[in-house]
Amino acid sequence: MKKSYLPSRRRMLQTSLAGAGFLFFSTLGRAMRPASTLPPKLSFGIANLKYPFKLDDLPYAHDAFEPGIDAKTMEIHHSRHHNAYVNNLNAALEKEPSWQSYSLGDLLAKLDTLPSSIRTTVRNNGGGHANHALYWETMRPGGSSPTGELANAIERKFGDLGGLRAELKSAAGSRFGSGWSWLVCDTDGILAVRSTANQDSPYMDGQLPLFGIDVWEHAYYLKYQNRRGDYVDAYLDVADWATVSKNYDSVFAS
Ligand code: MN3
């Protein structure tokens, strides 16, 4: 009895010490929990942009999408709205140099741990920069079709491109106020349609934004006034699904 009791007691002691240690470290771990970081599989392209951020020129003329998306809206949207997001984001990071080395994707994924003095500015303007960079990247005059893995995944999830368009349009129409309608995927490439308010980015939730429709009034009011649905159709008509397909392939390449 005694022989077995002692080791057993020692085991209990060890177990309870280990338990205390576990509790201690898990408590410490919670207190010092590292900020969530964007998964490496999703960290490419726009997610990898770094401070100082800059406004890229558009790869097409402002009138390239007439009559669906008018030239004046394109010009104001890019040179004023998007430009302001870039400038405001840089101004915030100028005040917090220790955050200047983080990628745009990580800044958005780590919002909760940013200094409170810049958190809201980075949320609105970092999101604004990422969202608009994608918006310009995934439109091209005449549009294009999905290819490869994306074409297969759309067929599995939505039946066909028409099914995906309908879901994106529905998410755009039901977003109250300003925001975005998105096609996103996770690290396994699983597709989903969702919307976000304001300039919130799917990167904030560890998702890859593949395609986004800007439903702020500044994106369509000059031409469409309150007819958001007509603008959404016009943007979907010039969607560059070939570029979206290439971005989707990057998730599987790593
Ligand atoms: Mn916009």
Better-scored residue on pLDDT, 109 or 2: 109
**191-197 vs 179-185, strand pairing mode:** antiparallel
What pLDDT, on the 0 to 100 scale, is given for residue 36?
A: 81
CA 136–ligand 1 middle distance (angstroms) = 10
Report if pTM > 0.85.
Answer: yes
CA 130–ligand 1 middle distance (angstroms) = 11
Q: Which residues lie near ion ligand 1 (Cβ < 5 Å)?
A: 214, 216, 219
For the stretch 40-85, pLDDT in tens is 999 999 999 999 999 999 999 999 999 999 999 999 999 999 999 9
Residues 6+ apart with CB under 8 A from 113: 35
For the chain, first and last CA: distance in Å? 58
What pLDDT, on the 0 to 100 scale, is given for residue 24?
A: 45
The owner of tokens 């994306």 is 150
CA 12–ligand 1 middle distance (angstroms) = 62
Structural domains in the chain, CATH included, are: 40-56+70-137 (1.10.287.990), 148-253 (3.55.40.20)
How is residue 175 written in tokens?
Answer: 């977003």
CA 82–ligand 1 middle distance (angstroms) = 7
CA 174–ligand 1 middle distance (angstroms) = 17
Give the angle 187-56-41 at the CA atoms, nearest 5°: 10
3-state secondary structure string across 20-78: HHHHHHHHHHHHCCCCCCCCHHHCCHHHHCCCCCCCCCCCCCHHHHCCCCCHHHHHHHH
